[in-house]
């Protein structure tokens, strides 16, 4: 224990005396947690719409007004030629084209039907898909309004009607931040813990101080623990700061208990720090460690369920996601913060994270080459 105590003192001094490391650990995660949820919004707005109106009737004007009044679309072109509207798409000034045919109002009144043409710029698949869906819903709603105006209620045949009453559980107001902030907090803890631990041992190698440590009687597991514990403490501090920011800035108060959250984050930090230290034992330079950690970090973020549900991924991707510790942390934080899940609910996740921690740290200890 005395040996470990001296190692911990050395590590804390090295970490805290470096102003850039202090900035990266304490300031950057706070700024990112404030900015990213405000920018990374699932909702698509300001969709540029070009309208080609061949009818110029009262009904076509009402339809265009209803679309622009929705708040999702911005009318950038209104003309009589489809070619002119298509030029707007080619020049990236429009995302969708709505073509209203000649005789739109007349055919709608006389024949009770009419067709509209929608052309979507599908280069941005997400914006195109959501924009087309929004436009379809608005046109459908407008069609129902017209139908109520034109059809006499007595002429309806009495068809059965199904009314749907829905309620949103765990996030009643469908607040985007309540869903996104816990996931981003998990990723920030992953990035800080993973990168810092991955660079730690390599920094000793580049500075040449690793040789001095290797000729001492320090045991390998003492050395790895000396590298792991400081970042484990700092990781918990970062997580605590993140919870405070989530409460102050976004009004997010965990429904579940804090001991459950800290039990999970403590276990997770053991796993991700062990992974970073394992990478550090393999690498000889900080550049190598950064590149390898960046490769895995992209997998952790994109395949952890932060933006895309794991259940909607292909089968092979779901298998890979089972070996992604970040996915378990994101899911647990959302469960505890939004649902109020307890230890019984997150036990399977804790067990898996515990296995990751044992395997990765044990591998790091085994792979650390020490000469006596």
Report yes or no on 237 lying in a domain.
Answer: yes
Same domain as 58, residue 32: no
Rounded to the nearest angstrom, the gap between the alpha carbon of residue 28 and the centroid of all alpha carbons in its chain is: 18
Of 96, 127, 155, which residue constitutes the final position of a domain?
155
Q: Decide if 204 contacts 69 (C-beta within 8 A).
A: no
Report yes or no on 160 lying in a domain.
Answer: no
**What domain range includes position 75?**
47-155
Report yes or no on 166 lying in a domain.
Answer: no
Same domain as 321, residue 180: yes
- How far is Cα 185 from Cα 146, in angstroms, rounded to an integer? 47
Report yes or no on 164 lying in a domain.
Answer: no
Same domain as 125, residue 141: yes
Share of the chain above pLDDT 90, in %: 39
Query: Which single residue is written with the structure tokens 């909702």?
Result: 43
**Selection from 50, 330, 362 nearest residue 180 by Cα:** 330
- The pTM for the full model equals 0.79
Share of the chain above pLDDT 70, in %: 92
Q: How many domains does the chain have?
A: 2
Same domain as 95, residue 24: no
- pLDDT of 105 strictly over 90: no
Phi, psi (degrees; rounded to nearest 5) at 159: -85, 145
Of 100, 120, 155, which residue constitutes the final position of a domain?
155
Structure-model confidence comparison of residues 279 and 106, the more confident one:
279
- pLDDT of 153 strictly over 60: no
- How far is Cα 307 from Cα 321, in angstroms, rounded to an integer? 13
Same domain as 23, residue 113: no
Average pLDDT, the chain: 86
Question: Would you tell me how many other CB atoms lie within 10 Å of the CB of residue 62?
Answer: 14
Question: To the nearest 10°, the Cα dihedral for 274, 284, 219, 272?
Answer: -10
Structure-model confidence comparison of residues 150 and 253, the more confident one:
253
DSSP codes of every residue in 4-36: HHHHHHHHHHHHHT-HHHHIIIIIHHHHHHHHH
Same domain as 302, residue 189: yes
- How far is Cα 87 from Cα 64, in angstroms, rounded to an integer? 20
Taking residues 140-159, report their average pLDDT: 65
Report yes or no on 355 lying in a domain.
Answer: yes
Report yes or no on 293 lying in a domain.
Answer: yes
Same domain as 220, residue 84: no
Q: CA–CA distance from 295 to each of 269, 298, 327 (Å)? A: 19, 6, 16
Give per-residue pLDDT as tens, 263-304.
999 999 999 999 999 999 999 899 999 999 999 999 998 899
Q: Decide if 85 contacts 99 (C-beta within 8 A).
A: yes
- How far is Cα 361 from Cα 327, in angstroms, rounded to an integer? 19
Structure-model confidence comparison of residues 153 and 365, the more confident one:
365
Report yes or no on 167 lying in a domain.
Answer: no
Phi, psi (degrees; rounded to nearest 5) at 367: -80, -15
Confidence of residue 160 (pLDDT cuts 50, 70, 90): low
- How far is Cα 153 from Cα 19, in angstroms, rounded to an integer? 74
CATH (domain of 90): 3.40.1710.10
Give per-residue pLDDT as tens, 37-92.
887 666 677 888 999 998 888 888 989 999 999 888 999 889 888 888 888 888 88
Give per-residue pLDDT as tens, 3-23.
788 888 888 888 778 787 788
- How far is Cα 179 from Cα 15, in angstroms, rounded to an integer? 33
CA-based max dimension of the chain: 96
Q: CA–CA distance from 210 to each of 16, 139, 218, 292, 365 (Å)? A: 20, 68, 12, 21, 15
Same domain as 234, residue 180: yes
Of 155, 182, 209, which residue constitutes the final position of a domain?
155
Same domain as 28, residue 57: no
Beta bridge partners of 119: 97
**Any residues with CB less than 8 A from the CB of 311 and at least 6 apart, and which?**
318
Token pair of 135, please? 């436009």
Same domain as 275, residue 217: yes
Report yes or no on 260 lying in a domain.
Answer: yes
Same domain as 251, residue 287: yes
Same domain as 52, residue 31: no
pLDDT at residue 324 in the model:
94
Give per-residue pLDDT as tens, 194-249.
998 998 889 888 888 887 877 778 888 888 898 899 999 999 999 999 999 999 99
């Amino acid at each position: 224990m005395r040996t470990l105590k001296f190692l911990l003192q050395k590590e804390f001094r090295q970490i805290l005396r470096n102003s850039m490391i202090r900035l990266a650990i304490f300031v950057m995660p706070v700024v990112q947690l404030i900015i990213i949820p405000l920018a990374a919004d699932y909702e698509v707005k300001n969709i540029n719409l070009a309208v080609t109106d061949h009818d110029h009737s009262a009904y076509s004007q009402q339809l265009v007004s209803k679309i622009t009044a929705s708040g999702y679309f911005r009318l950038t072109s209104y003309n009589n030629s489809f070619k002119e509207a298509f030029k707007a798409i080619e020049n990236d000034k429009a995302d969708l084209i709505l073509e209203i045919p000649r005789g739109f109002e007349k055919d709608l009144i006389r024949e009770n039907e009419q067709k509209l043409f929608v052309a979507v710029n599908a280069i941005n698949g997400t914006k195109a898909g959501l924009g087309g869906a929004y436009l379809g819903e608005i046109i459908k709603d407008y069609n129902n309004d017209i139908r109520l105006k034109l059809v006499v209620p007595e002429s309806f045949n009495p068809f059965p009607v199904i009314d749907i009453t829905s309620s949103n559980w765990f996030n009643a107001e469908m607040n985007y931040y309540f869903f996104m902030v816990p996931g981003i907090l998990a990723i920030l803890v992953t990035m800080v813990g993973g990168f810092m631990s991955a660079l730690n041992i390599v920094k000793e190698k580049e500075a040449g101080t690793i040789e001095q440590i290797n000729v001492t009687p320090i045991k390998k597991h003492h050395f790895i623990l000396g590298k792991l514990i400081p970042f484990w403490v700092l990781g918990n501090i970062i997580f605590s700061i993140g919870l405070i920011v989530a409460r102050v800035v976004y009004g997010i108060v965990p429904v579940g208990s804090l001991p459950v959250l800290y039990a999970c984050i403590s276990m997770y930090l053991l796993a991700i720090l062990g992974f970073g230290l394992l990478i550090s034992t393999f690498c000889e330079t900080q550049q190598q460690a950064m590149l390898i950690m960046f490769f895995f970090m992209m997998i952790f973020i994109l395949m952890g369920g932060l933006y895309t549900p794991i259940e909607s991924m292909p089968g092979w991707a779901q298998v890979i996601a089972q070996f992604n510790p970040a996915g378990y942390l994101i899911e647990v934080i959302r469960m505890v913060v939004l649902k109020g899940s307890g230890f019984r609910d997150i036990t399977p996740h804790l067990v898996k994270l515990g296995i990751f921690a044992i395997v990765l740290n044990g591998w790091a200890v085994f792979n650390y080459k020490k000469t006596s």
